[in-house]
Amino acid sequence: MDLLTLTLKDGTSLTGKAFGALKESEGETVFTTGMVGYPESLTDPSFKDQILVLSFPLIGNYGVPNEALDENKISRYFESNRIHLRGLIVSDYSEVYSHWNAGKSLGGWLREYDIPGISGIDTRALTQLLRDKGSQLGKIHPAGAKISNDFYDPNKENLVARVSTQKIERYGFEGDTVDKKKRVAILDTGMKLNILRSLLARGLKVTLFPWNANPFAPENEKFGPFDGVLFSNGPGDPENLPETVAIMKECFKRKIPTFGICLGNQIMGLAAGARTKKLKYGHRGQNQPCVETRTGRCFITSQNHGYIVDGELLPKEWEVSFVNANDGTVEGLRHKTLPFFSVQFHPEACPGPTDTAFLFDEFVKLL
Protein backbone atom coordinates (compact mmCIF):
# COMPACT_ATOMS: atom_id res chain seq x y z
CA MET A 1 0.00 0.00 0.00
CA ASP A 2 1.40 3.39 -1.03
CA LEU A 3 1.36 6.04 1.68
CA LEU A 4 1.45 9.82 1.33
CA THR A 5 1.86 12.45 4.03
CA LEU A 6 0.39 15.93 4.25
CA THR A 7 2.74 18.25 6.15
CA LEU A 8 1.50 21.71 7.10
CA LYS A 9 3.67 24.75 7.67
CA ASP A 10 2.98 24.59 11.43
CA GLY A 11 4.65 21.15 11.52
CA THR A 12 1.51 19.01 11.59
CA SER A 13 1.96 15.76 9.62
CA LEU A 14 -0.84 13.38 8.67
CA THR A 15 -0.27 10.15 6.76
CA GLY A 16 -2.82 8.14 4.80
CA LYS A 17 -3.34 5.87 1.83
CA ALA A 18 -2.52 7.31 -1.58
CA PHE A 19 -5.15 7.43 -4.29
CA GLY A 20 -4.95 9.38 -7.50
CA ALA A 21 -1.44 10.22 -8.68
CA LEU A 22 1.52 9.09 -6.57
CA LYS A 23 3.53 12.31 -6.55
CA GLU A 24 4.69 15.25 -4.48
CA SER A 25 2.71 18.48 -4.51
CA GLU A 26 2.24 21.66 -2.50
CA GLY A 27 -0.21 24.52 -2.12
CA GLU A 28 -2.54 26.28 0.28
CA THR A 29 -4.49 23.80 2.43
CA VAL A 30 -8.17 24.73 2.77
CA PHE A 31 -11.39 22.92 3.64
CA THR A 32 -14.90 22.78 2.22
CA THR A 33 -18.04 21.65 4.02
CA GLY A 34 -20.01 20.47 0.97
CA MET A 35 -21.60 17.03 1.20
CA VAL A 36 -21.63 16.44 -2.57
CA GLY A 37 -20.42 18.12 -5.74
CA TYR A 38 -16.78 17.11 -5.98
CA PRO A 39 -16.79 16.96 -9.84
CA GLU A 40 -17.89 20.60 -9.93
CA SER A 41 -15.62 21.71 -7.07
CA LEU A 42 -12.47 20.09 -8.39
CA THR A 43 -12.96 21.79 -11.77
CA ASP A 44 -13.69 25.21 -10.22
CA PRO A 45 -10.74 27.47 -11.19
CA SER A 46 -11.10 29.25 -7.84
CA PHE A 47 -9.39 26.20 -6.27
CA LYS A 48 -6.26 26.76 -8.37
CA ASP A 49 -3.12 25.51 -6.54
CA GLN A 50 -4.95 24.58 -3.34
CA ILE A 51 -4.89 21.34 -1.37
CA LEU A 52 -8.55 20.71 -0.68
CA VAL A 53 -9.80 18.96 2.46
CA LEU A 54 -13.34 17.53 2.16
CA SER A 55 -14.96 17.53 5.59
CA PHE A 56 -17.77 15.17 4.55
CA PRO A 57 -16.51 11.68 5.49
CA LEU A 58 -17.47 9.48 2.50
CA ILE A 59 -16.14 10.57 -0.90
CA GLY A 60 -16.09 8.91 -4.32
CA ASN A 61 -19.15 6.69 -4.01
CA TYR A 62 -20.90 8.17 -7.05
CA GLY A 63 -17.84 8.36 -9.29
CA VAL A 64 -17.23 10.98 -11.98
CA PRO A 65 -19.14 11.50 -15.25
CA ASN A 66 -17.45 11.24 -18.61
CA GLU A 67 -16.88 14.51 -20.42
CA ALA A 68 -19.78 15.61 -22.64
CA LEU A 69 -20.60 18.86 -24.41
CA ASP A 70 -23.95 20.65 -24.51
CA GLU A 71 -25.57 22.41 -27.48
CA ASN A 72 -23.25 25.41 -26.97
CA LYS A 73 -20.17 23.15 -27.03
CA ILE A 74 -19.62 23.79 -23.32
CA SER A 75 -18.83 21.05 -20.81
CA ARG A 76 -22.11 19.63 -19.56
CA TYR A 77 -20.98 18.39 -16.15
CA PHE A 78 -17.79 20.24 -15.17
CA GLU A 79 -16.99 23.87 -14.38
CA SER A 80 -13.87 24.06 -16.56
CA ASN A 81 -11.79 21.78 -18.76
CA ARG A 82 -9.53 20.37 -16.03
CA ILE A 83 -8.90 19.82 -12.31
CA HIS A 84 -7.21 22.82 -10.68
CA LEU A 85 -6.29 21.43 -7.25
CA ARG A 86 -2.79 20.56 -6.08
CA GLY A 87 -4.15 17.72 -3.94
CA LEU A 88 -7.25 16.18 -2.37
CA ILE A 89 -7.59 15.01 1.25
CA VAL A 90 -10.50 12.77 2.28
CA SER A 91 -11.49 10.56 5.20
CA ASP A 92 -13.03 7.49 3.56
CA TYR A 93 -12.49 7.05 -0.18
CA SER A 94 -14.89 4.64 -1.87
CA GLU A 95 -13.10 2.45 -4.42
CA VAL A 96 -16.51 1.22 -5.60
CA TYR A 97 -18.76 3.80 -7.25
CA SER A 98 -22.31 3.64 -8.55
CA HIS A 99 -24.29 6.25 -10.44
CA TRP A 100 -26.29 6.20 -13.68
CA ASN A 101 -24.01 8.85 -15.17
CA ALA A 102 -20.66 7.67 -13.77
CA GLY A 103 -17.92 6.87 -16.25
CA LYS A 104 -14.86 6.58 -14.02
CA SER A 105 -13.69 6.58 -10.42
CA LEU A 106 -12.57 9.69 -8.57
CA GLY A 107 -9.11 8.18 -8.12
CA GLY A 108 -8.86 7.41 -11.82
CA TRP A 109 -9.90 10.95 -12.67
CA LEU A 110 -7.22 12.38 -10.37
CA ARG A 111 -4.62 10.20 -12.07
CA GLU A 112 -5.66 11.56 -15.46
CA TYR A 113 -4.63 15.05 -14.30
CA ASP A 114 -1.65 13.91 -12.19
CA ILE A 115 -3.24 15.06 -8.93
CA PRO A 116 -2.43 13.21 -5.67
CA GLY A 117 -5.07 12.21 -3.16
CA ILE A 118 -4.81 10.96 0.43
CA SER A 119 -7.52 8.96 2.22
CA GLY A 120 -7.71 7.68 5.79
CA ILE A 121 -7.15 11.15 7.27
CA ASP A 122 -9.33 12.44 10.13
CA THR A 123 -10.60 15.29 8.00
CA ARG A 124 -12.89 16.67 10.68
CA ALA A 125 -9.95 17.06 13.07
CA LEU A 126 -7.94 18.59 10.22
CA THR A 127 -10.81 20.95 9.43
CA GLN A 128 -10.91 22.02 13.08
CA LEU A 129 -7.17 22.70 12.99
CA LEU A 130 -7.54 24.83 9.85
CA ARG A 131 -10.50 26.62 11.38
CA ASP A 132 -8.63 27.38 14.62
CA LYS A 133 -5.21 28.22 13.15
CA GLY A 134 -6.33 29.38 9.72
CA SER A 135 -5.66 28.05 6.23
CA GLN A 136 -2.06 26.84 5.97
CA LEU A 137 0.50 26.16 3.32
CA GLY A 138 1.11 22.45 2.93
CA LYS A 139 3.05 19.75 1.12
CA ILE A 140 2.06 16.27 -0.01
CA HIS A 141 5.02 13.89 -0.09
CA PRO A 142 5.95 10.21 0.38
CA ALA A 143 5.61 9.06 3.98
CA GLY A 144 8.90 9.39 5.85
CA ALA A 145 10.54 11.64 3.27
CA LYS A 146 12.45 14.70 4.42
CA ILE A 147 11.11 18.00 3.13
CA SER A 148 12.42 21.55 3.06
CA ASN A 149 11.04 24.36 5.19
CA ASP A 150 10.19 26.40 2.10
CA PHE A 151 6.46 26.33 1.30
CA TYR A 152 4.88 27.49 -1.94
CA ASP A 153 2.34 30.29 -1.39
CA PRO A 154 -0.04 30.51 -4.37
CA ASN A 155 -1.56 33.75 -3.08
CA LYS A 156 1.63 35.59 -4.06
CA GLU A 157 1.11 34.54 -7.69
CA ASN A 158 -1.19 35.89 -10.37
CA LEU A 159 -3.25 32.70 -10.50
CA VAL A 160 -5.92 34.37 -12.63
CA ALA A 161 -3.52 34.66 -15.56
CA ARG A 162 -3.10 30.87 -15.44
CA VAL A 163 -6.80 29.97 -15.48
CA SER A 164 -8.31 32.70 -17.66
CA THR A 165 -9.10 32.13 -21.30
CA GLN A 166 -6.18 33.08 -23.52
CA LYS A 167 -8.32 34.28 -26.42
CA ILE A 168 -11.62 36.06 -27.02
CA GLU A 169 -14.49 33.61 -27.43
CA ARG A 170 -18.12 34.16 -28.49
CA TYR A 171 -21.25 32.23 -27.54
CA GLY A 172 -24.92 32.53 -28.47
CA PHE A 173 -24.41 34.22 -31.82
CA GLU A 174 -25.33 31.26 -34.03
CA GLY A 175 -28.73 31.49 -35.71
CA ASP A 176 -29.50 35.03 -34.52
CA THR A 177 -30.35 36.54 -37.89
CA VAL A 178 -32.39 39.43 -36.50
CA ASP A 179 -29.74 40.47 -33.98
CA LYS A 180 -32.20 41.26 -31.19
CA LYS A 181 -30.30 39.56 -28.39
CA LYS A 182 -28.55 41.66 -25.79
CA ARG A 183 -24.77 41.46 -25.74
CA VAL A 184 -22.76 40.85 -22.58
CA ALA A 185 -18.99 40.81 -22.09
CA ILE A 186 -17.50 38.53 -19.44
CA LEU A 187 -14.09 39.23 -17.94
CA ASP A 188 -12.83 35.70 -17.35
CA THR A 189 -10.80 35.75 -14.15
CA GLY A 190 -11.36 32.03 -13.62
CA MET A 191 -14.99 31.66 -14.62
CA LYS A 192 -17.10 28.67 -13.65
CA LEU A 193 -18.91 27.48 -16.76
CA ASN A 194 -22.34 27.66 -15.18
CA ILE A 195 -22.05 31.44 -15.21
CA LEU A 196 -21.82 31.22 -18.98
CA ARG A 197 -24.63 28.65 -19.13
CA SER A 198 -26.82 30.90 -16.96
CA LEU A 199 -26.42 33.86 -19.31
CA LEU A 200 -26.98 31.80 -22.46
CA ALA A 201 -30.11 30.28 -20.93
CA ARG A 202 -31.48 33.83 -20.65
CA GLY A 203 -31.07 34.48 -24.35
CA LEU A 204 -27.95 36.62 -24.26
CA LYS A 205 -25.01 36.85 -26.64
CA VAL A 206 -21.82 36.43 -24.67
CA THR A 207 -18.25 37.43 -25.51
CA LEU A 208 -15.62 36.01 -23.19
CA PHE A 209 -12.50 38.14 -22.67
CA PRO A 210 -9.18 37.30 -20.99
CA TRP A 211 -8.74 38.78 -17.52
CA ASN A 212 -6.69 41.75 -18.75
CA ALA A 213 -8.40 42.44 -22.11
CA ASN A 214 -10.45 45.64 -22.14
CA PRO A 215 -13.76 45.06 -24.01
CA PHE A 216 -13.85 48.79 -24.81
CA ALA A 217 -10.36 48.98 -26.33
CA PRO A 218 -10.29 50.07 -30.02
CA GLU A 219 -9.07 46.65 -31.16
CA ASN A 220 -12.12 45.05 -29.52
CA GLU A 221 -14.78 47.40 -30.93
CA LYS A 222 -15.67 44.77 -33.54
CA PHE A 223 -17.06 42.54 -30.76
CA GLY A 224 -19.39 45.21 -29.35
CA PRO A 225 -21.27 47.24 -28.54
CA PHE A 226 -22.04 45.66 -25.16
CA ASP A 227 -25.17 46.11 -23.08
CA GLY A 228 -23.51 44.89 -19.89
CA VAL A 229 -20.33 43.45 -18.39
CA LEU A 230 -19.89 40.58 -15.93
CA PHE A 231 -16.75 39.97 -13.89
CA SER A 232 -16.42 36.32 -12.94
CA ASN A 233 -15.15 34.34 -9.99
CA GLY A 234 -11.53 33.23 -9.80
CA PRO A 235 -8.57 32.35 -7.56
CA GLY A 236 -6.08 34.26 -5.47
CA ASP A 237 -5.57 37.74 -4.08
CA PRO A 238 -7.62 40.41 -5.92
CA GLU A 239 -4.92 43.01 -5.29
CA ASN A 240 -2.77 41.13 -7.81
CA LEU A 241 -5.15 42.29 -10.58
CA PRO A 242 -4.74 46.05 -11.14
CA GLU A 243 -5.47 45.62 -14.86
CA THR A 244 -8.86 44.04 -14.15
CA VAL A 245 -9.68 46.68 -11.54
CA ALA A 246 -8.92 49.36 -14.14
CA ILE A 247 -11.37 47.73 -16.58
CA MET A 248 -14.04 47.73 -13.84
CA LYS A 249 -13.39 51.45 -13.29
CA GLU A 250 -13.97 52.08 -16.99
CA CYS A 251 -17.32 50.27 -16.70
CA PHE A 252 -18.20 52.69 -13.91
CA LYS A 253 -17.15 55.66 -16.05
CA ARG A 254 -19.34 54.44 -18.91
CA LYS A 255 -22.24 53.71 -16.49
CA ILE A 256 -22.77 50.35 -18.19
CA PRO A 257 -24.66 47.66 -16.20
CA THR A 258 -21.98 45.69 -14.36
CA PHE A 259 -22.30 42.47 -12.34
CA GLY A 260 -19.53 40.86 -10.27
CA ILE A 261 -19.46 37.33 -8.84
CA CYS A 262 -17.05 36.17 -6.10
CA LEU A 263 -13.66 37.55 -7.21
CA GLY A 264 -15.74 39.95 -9.30
CA ASN A 265 -17.24 41.25 -6.05
CA GLN A 266 -13.77 41.92 -4.66
CA ILE A 267 -12.71 43.64 -7.90
CA MET A 268 -15.81 45.82 -7.68
CA GLY A 269 -14.92 46.74 -4.12
CA LEU A 270 -11.40 47.73 -5.13
CA ALA A 271 -12.67 49.70 -8.13
CA ALA A 272 -15.13 51.52 -5.89
CA GLY A 273 -12.34 52.62 -3.56
CA ALA A 274 -12.57 50.05 -0.78
CA ARG A 275 -9.96 47.46 0.23
CA THR A 276 -9.95 43.69 0.47
CA LYS A 277 -8.60 41.38 3.17
CA LYS A 278 -7.91 37.70 3.62
CA LEU A 279 -10.21 35.59 5.77
CA LYS A 280 -8.70 33.36 8.43
CA TYR A 281 -9.95 30.18 6.75
CA GLY A 282 -12.32 31.30 4.02
CA HIS A 283 -15.85 30.30 3.08
CA ARG A 284 -16.03 27.09 1.05
CA GLY A 285 -19.10 24.90 0.77
CA GLN A 286 -22.71 24.84 -0.29
CA ASN A 287 -24.42 25.84 2.93
CA GLN A 288 -23.40 29.43 3.71
CA PRO A 289 -26.35 31.57 4.90
CA CYS A 290 -26.47 35.13 3.54
CA VAL A 291 -28.92 37.87 4.51
CA GLU A 292 -30.13 40.44 1.98
CA THR A 293 -29.86 43.77 3.81
CA ARG A 294 -32.82 45.47 2.11
CA THR A 295 -35.35 42.70 2.79
CA GLY A 296 -33.91 40.67 5.67
CA ARG A 297 -34.37 37.48 3.64
CA CYS A 298 -31.83 34.73 4.23
CA PHE A 299 -30.53 32.60 1.36
CA ILE A 300 -28.42 29.44 1.49
CA THR A 301 -25.54 29.93 -0.90
CA SER A 302 -22.63 28.14 -2.54
CA GLN A 303 -19.27 29.76 -1.78
CA ASN A 304 -15.56 29.40 -2.50
CA HIS A 305 -13.36 32.31 -1.50
CA GLY A 306 -10.54 33.27 0.83
CA TYR A 307 -10.77 37.07 0.45
CA ILE A 308 -13.53 39.59 1.16
CA VAL A 309 -14.26 43.30 0.75
CA ASP A 310 -13.74 45.41 3.86
CA GLY A 311 -17.16 47.02 4.31
CA GLU A 312 -15.80 49.64 6.71
CA LEU A 313 -13.94 51.32 3.84
CA LEU A 314 -16.81 51.37 1.32
CA PRO A 315 -17.56 54.87 -0.10
CA LYS A 316 -20.90 56.45 0.87
CA GLU A 317 -22.42 56.10 -2.62
CA TRP A 318 -22.24 52.31 -2.19
CA GLU A 319 -24.09 49.95 0.11
CA VAL A 320 -23.57 46.40 1.37
CA SER A 321 -26.36 44.34 -0.20
CA PHE A 322 -25.71 40.97 1.48
CA VAL A 323 -23.94 39.90 4.68
CA ASN A 324 -22.87 36.47 5.86
CA ALA A 325 -25.20 35.33 8.64
CA ASN A 326 -22.38 33.38 10.34
CA ASP A 327 -19.67 36.03 10.65
CA GLY A 328 -21.20 39.28 9.34
CA THR A 329 -18.71 39.66 6.48
CA VAL A 330 -19.60 41.45 3.25
CA GLU A 331 -21.36 39.17 0.74
CA GLY A 332 -22.53 41.73 -1.79
CA LEU A 333 -22.24 45.33 -2.98
CA ARG A 334 -24.61 47.66 -4.77
CA HIS A 335 -24.26 51.21 -6.02
CA LYS A 336 -27.09 53.35 -4.65
CA THR A 337 -27.96 55.04 -7.95
CA LEU A 338 -26.06 53.40 -10.84
CA PRO A 339 -26.45 49.87 -12.34
CA PHE A 340 -23.49 48.23 -10.59
CA PHE A 341 -23.86 45.29 -8.19
CA SER A 342 -21.98 42.20 -7.09
CA VAL A 343 -22.15 39.19 -4.77
CA GLN A 344 -19.44 37.24 -3.00
CA PHE A 345 -21.32 33.94 -3.25
CA HIS A 346 -22.14 31.88 -6.36
CA PRO A 347 -25.67 32.43 -7.74
CA GLU A 348 -24.84 29.97 -10.55
CA ALA A 349 -24.34 27.21 -7.92
CA CYS A 350 -22.74 24.05 -9.38
CA PRO A 351 -22.49 22.64 -6.81
CA GLY A 352 -25.06 23.87 -4.35
CA PRO A 353 -28.47 25.52 -4.11
CA THR A 354 -29.91 27.71 -6.86
CA ASP A 355 -31.81 30.00 -4.47
CA THR A 356 -30.05 33.13 -5.74
CA ALA A 357 -30.17 32.42 -9.48
CA PHE A 358 -32.67 35.31 -9.70
CA LEU A 359 -29.68 37.66 -9.61
CA PHE A 360 -28.98 36.79 -13.24
CA ASP A 361 -32.53 37.91 -14.03
CA GLU A 362 -31.87 41.18 -12.21
CA PHE A 363 -28.78 41.69 -14.33
CA VAL A 364 -30.74 41.02 -17.53
CA LYS A 365 -33.35 43.63 -16.50
CA LEU A 366 -30.61 46.26 -16.29
CA LEU A 367 -29.39 45.65 -19.85
Active site residues: 262, 346, 348
Residue 157 is inside which H or E element, if any? none
Which residues have a Cβ under 8 Å from the Cβ of 219 and sit 6 or more positions away? none
d(CA 263, CA 348): 14
What Rg, from alpha-carbon coordinates, does the chain have?
20
Residue 234 carries which side chain, given as an amino acid letter? G
Q: What is the DSSP string of 98-142?
A: --TTEEE-HHHHHHHTT-EEEES--HHHHHHHHHHH--EEEEEEE
CB atoms within 10 A of CB 162: 16
Q: Beta strand 58-59 with 92-93: parallel, antiparallel or unpaired?
A: parallel
Which residues have a Cβ under 8 Å from the Cβ of 156 and sit 6 or more positions away? 237
d(CA 16, CA 117): 9
CB atoms within 10 A of CB 256: 21
- ∠ CA 190-192-195, nearest 5°, is 120
Name the 3-class secondary structure at 253.
Answer: helix
